[in-house]
Structure formats: structure tokens, C-alpha cells
Structure 1
Amino acid sequence: MSQNKLESVAALRIQDWAEEDRPREKLLKKGMASLMDAELLAVLVGSGTRDMSVVVLAQHILKANGNSLQELAKRSVQELQRFKGIGAAKSIAIACAMELTRRRTYEIGNKREAIDCSSKAYTLLRPDLTDKLIEESWILLLNRANYLIKKIKLSSGGTSATVMDPRLVFSRS
């Protein structure tokens, strides 16, 4: 395809697409599973730029993150705003969708469970620690029956360590 043809396709507005190819309409007719990651992201973003359709913008964002949703989930609101066409509102929407996904994936549910082993503590803290680029220190406050009272982030550090001061532990509990 020639460069001019590629540019005209990229600039083509979603309204100019065949109805069955538009992400929202495709979702309604064929279901969520019919959409590619870029189309799902495009629905979330909502609109593109004058030079780029929302789907092409979403493809560009995914490509910049190695076509990996895991990598995309690590991006901060400020990093997402570096893409032309992604302002504060759109970057916040993407970050919130990634956070909801993270929480849903590791949600324990309404069932209250005793934290009586390290794997249960890990499951409880995993949503708070997933996709972090820096080390963090957390404590779990448990009652005598090992049920969670509260979880508290004590400190954040660098990429390989964080300092945990015992005074912080006792002052927060």
C-alpha cells in the first residue's frame, strides 16, 4: 500500500467506516470476544485525532508497549499523555480500566478469609503490588483470628529496595 493510501486510511473517521467494522457496533452485534485489543482500547479512548482514527491511535499505543496489555498497565497517566490525542481525561480512563482489571483479577470476593499463610497474604496484596516499577513495603493488620483489619503501605523505594523503619510500623498500627 502506498504511503498516501496508508495516511488516508489512518485519517478515515470511524463514522466513515462500514457499520459492521466500527468497534462499538461490532461489539453490540458480535460480542466482546469479536474485538481485538486495539478495538477495545479504542472504545475506551473514544476519539482519535484529526490525522488518526481512534483505532489507529489505539494500535499506536499498543505497539509502543510491545503489543502487551501487561506493559500498557505499567504506564502512568503522565506517560500515556505523551501520545498525541491522549489528554488527561483519556489517560485517566485507560489507567482506571487497567486498575479495575487488576483488582478484578485478584479479588478475593465477599468471602472473608483468615490470613493464615504467606500465599493468602500474597493473594491479598497482589493487586496493590502488580505492575509497580518500584519496591514497596506493606503491612497487614490482623485480629487474633487472623482476619484482616487493614492493609497499609509503609514506604516506596527504588527499583530494587525500600527502607522499612520499625517506628513507621508501630506508629501506623
Structure 2
Amino acid sequence: MKYETNSFSIKQWNEDDRPREKLLQKGKIALSDAELLAILIGSGSRNESAVGLSKRILASVKNNLNELGKCSVSDLTTFKGIGEAKAIAIISALELSRRHRASEGIKKDKITSSNDAFKILQSILGELPHEEFWILYLNNSNKVLHKSQISKGGITGTLVDIRLVLKNALQIGAVALILAHNHPSGAIQPSHADKQLTQKLKKAAESLDIKVLDHLIITEKTYFSFADENLL
């Protein structure tokens, strides 16, 4: 167990350097990423304030919050002043943010283009270090009824049970599907296996009068659409 002593609590900081008070007086938008992170941390180490520690943590990921979200507890506890409890608080806050982005995408509801689907799926799949396969189940107005993880794999692949995909569609009452999986490598071109799976799912779904509208390959910043590239 790691004990922290002689740390600088926020109450000991100069009045102009207190992010909690700044948030109350000026609102959350006025705070920098480092100040928001400092509120989560609460205190730094003996020779460093929480804001200073937060700046150093953010600098290690080039001030990219998506990259920070990929850090593990062991990654974060390498910083002096960050124990297990603080690391867990940071990871939990970033996971809540990720889930919030995903729920905001679902609120928009109707899918009118591949980009609409990407906005929903990127927050789920874009930052993962392993492959996952997801389905968006849609009604006849192309509104999202449900989103579901079908499988979770390794760095280079994942298996998909077509029967499970269609069973879920029938139970939900979906009439259309958007398939999606991520490529942790960042490559967006579909593999031969990706193309084969897409055609198998499309053919099986058609027998139940269910349409496969698209298959997206998701990376952190971009995507590949089978529909846009006329591969369906």
C-alpha cells in the first residue's frame, strides 16, 4: 500500500490557483484539462501541486485525452503522487466520459449516412487495443433500437456467430443492421475475411427480410464504409 504524506492539498494553494473555486465562480468551461484533472486528483506530491502533476500526466500522452483514456492503473501509478485510488478515479471519470459520448450518439437516433453510424460507434470502438464486433439494430425508419457487442477478440481478429446476430434482430424487432468492428492497428482497408463475413451476414439476413445497410471498420480517427465503397 502506498501512503502519501506532506502533499499539497487544494486548500493550501494560492486563491487564483484553486480549480474548484474557479469552477464555482466561472463555470466548468473556464477550466483547462489539467485543472479538471487536478480536481479529480485532489492533491499532488510533496514538491508538486495537483495541477503541476496533472500537466505532467497530460504531457506524457501529448495532451490527448483519448490516449489518457487508454492508460491502465499501473501506467498512472508510475507518476509520483498517483496511488491506486487516484488512478482508479481518473480511469472511472474518463470511462464515464466515453459512455456519455456513446449515449449522446444514440440520442440522435436516426441513421442517415455512414458518418452518423461512425459518430455512434467511434466512441465505443475507436480507442480499444483489441478487436470487437458490434451491431446497430434499426427499425424501418433507420432509428437505432439497440446496439450490441457480438464478440470480443484479440489484437488481430474476432469471431462472429451469425445465428446470434439474427436471433437478437428477431427478438428486438429490427428490420435493418449496421455491422461494425475496429482495427486497433489503424488500418481501415477490409481484409478478405471481413468481406466474406459481410456477405455471409447479408445473405443470412436477407432470408429473414432483414437488410444489412453497412459494415464499418472503425479506427480512432476515421472509418471505412462497405456501403460507401459499393462493397455490399
TM-score (ref. length: structure 1):
0.72
Larger helix share, 1 or 2: 1
Q: Which has the higher strand share?
A: 2
Give the equivalent residue in structure 1 for 2:71: 75
Deviation per residue, 1:135-160 (Å, 9 max, x gap): 21111222344332221111222334
Secondary structure in structure 2 of the residue aligned to 1:169:
helix
1:91 is aligned to 87
SS state at 1:153 partner: strand
The yes-or-no answer on 1:57 pairing with 2:41 is no
Q: Does 1:137 align with 2:138?
A: no
Pairs within 5 Å for 1:11-160? 12-105=8-101, 107-108=104-105, 110-113=107-110, 115-160=111-156
| One-letter amino acid matched to 1:152 | S
For residues 69 and 86 of structure 1, the distance between their equivalents in structure 2, rounded to whole angstroms, comes to 17
For the Cα contact (< 8 Å) 2:8–2:43, is it kept in 1?
no
The higher relative CO (CA closer than 8 Å, separation ≥ 6) is in: 2
For 2:126 and 2:53, locate their aligned partners in 1 and report how far apart those are by CA, in whole Å: 26
Q: CA RMSD in A?
A: 3.0
Query: What 5-or-longer segments of structure 2 have no aligned partner?
Result: 1-6, 170-232
How many pairs does the alignment contain? 163
Alpha-carbon distance between aligned partners in 1 of 2:54 and 2:68, rounded to the nearest angstrom: 11
**Secondary structure, counterpart of 2:137 in structure 1:** strand
Closer, same or farther: CA 111–36 of 1 in aligned 2, 3 Å: closer
Find the aligned partners of 2:106 and 2:143 in 1 and give their Cα distance.
14
How big is the shift at 1:48? 2.4
- Select between 46-55 and 58-67 the one with higher mean Cα deviation: 46-55
Question: Aligned-pair distance for 1:171?
Answer: 5.1
Structure 1: 4+ residue segments shifted above 6 A:
none
